[in-house]
Structure 1
């Protein structure tokens, strides 16, 4: 029962954020949108852990991590993220 309540709250937050984005009430890099996604996905992930449903633990865990990464990036400024490169040069 508790997993259903937690999961429903999480999914509700994700859907509200999605609707706000498509109704142009939120920006895809906005902190409110990212926070709603992070909290919603975190709750949905917790619910999936509680019912031991691994596919959704992975899905919601990754969703939450991406949203948290976007939040961190929004607080640090919109600097490019480099994965393994020391500069921003691209091969020509």
Structure 2
């Protein structure tokens, strides 16, 4: 992957994360599956970008961001299963 392509992938990831935060802020009752899925996608895209344009602290941050998103998806799935 070229550096330019990695930048495009990184910008797409950034757009995902910012969009998820905007959605979370704008909605009265946001769907947690949307928020966490889009955050996970964004973290993954940014991580791919960061493997080409290496920035270790940012790569670690995206790993943590992905873990939090997965945790949120697991919690949302557990909450959905416990609904009547």
TM-score scaled by length of structure 1? 0.74
Aligned counterpart, 1:51: 53
1:66 partnered with 2:51: no
Aligned counterpart, 1:14: 17
Aligned counterpart, 1:38: 40
Q: Classify the secondary structure of the residue corresponding to 1:52.
A: coil
Gaps of at least 5 residues in structure 1 are: 79-92
Gaps of at least 5 residues in structure 2 are: none
Larger Rg: 1
Please identify which structure carries the higher helix content: 2
TM-score scaled by length of structure 2? 0.81
* Number of aligned residue pairs: 77
Spell out structure 1 runs of 4+ moving beyond 3 A.
Answer: none
